């Protein structure tokens, strides 16, 4: 059974893989330690350094806030423009529909008046007030 698991070359491949992982971990640890030491060696924290860091961070926050507000304003302007276009388009469609209905009603009314032979003089007399004596 052990002979089946330990075939020729399997052990060497596993040892090579483990060695490669160990070397990679050692290199990473060394590079992290060097960068950590480099960062702490650069400059000690003093009042001036903290002030500069605070100013830089505040400037970054301000710039980010302005960019965010600008994008929100642009989006709002786009939405208002879309709303105006949709409203205008909707009113135009309704206006055209009502004009068509009114025109159709007028044509039907004119046709009905002509069909019954009613003249304009009768309509004028019909609209004048009459006095009745009772």
Which stretch of DSSP H or E encloses residue 6?
none
Is this structure's pTM higher than 0.75?
Answer: no
Condensed to tens digits (0 to 9), the pLDDT of residues 22-41 reads 999 999 988 888 777 665 55
Which stretch of DSSP H or E encloses residue 31?
helix 10-42
Average model confidence (pLDDT) across the chain: 82
List Cα–Cα distances, 67 to 40, 79, 115, in angstroms: 33, 18, 71
Most confident of 7-16, 26-35, 40-49, 99-108: 99-108
């Amino acid at each position: 059974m052990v002979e089946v698991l330990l075939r020729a070359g399997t052990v060497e491949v596993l040892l090579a893989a483990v060695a490669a992982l160990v070397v990679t971990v050692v290199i990473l640890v060394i590079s992290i330690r060097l960068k950590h030491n480099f960062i702490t060696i650069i400059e000690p924290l003093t009042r001036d350094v903290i002030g500069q860091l605070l100013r830089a961070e505040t400037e970054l926050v301000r710039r980010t806030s302005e960019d965010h507000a600008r994008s929100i304003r642009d989006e709002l302007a786009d939405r208002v423009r879309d709303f105006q276009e949709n409203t205008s388009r909707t009113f135009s469609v309704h206006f055209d529909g009502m004009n068509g209905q009114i025109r159709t009603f007028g044509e039907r009314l004119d046709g009905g008046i002509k069909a019954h032979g009613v003249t304009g003089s009768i309509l004028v007399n019909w609209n004048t007030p009459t006095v009745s004596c009772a």
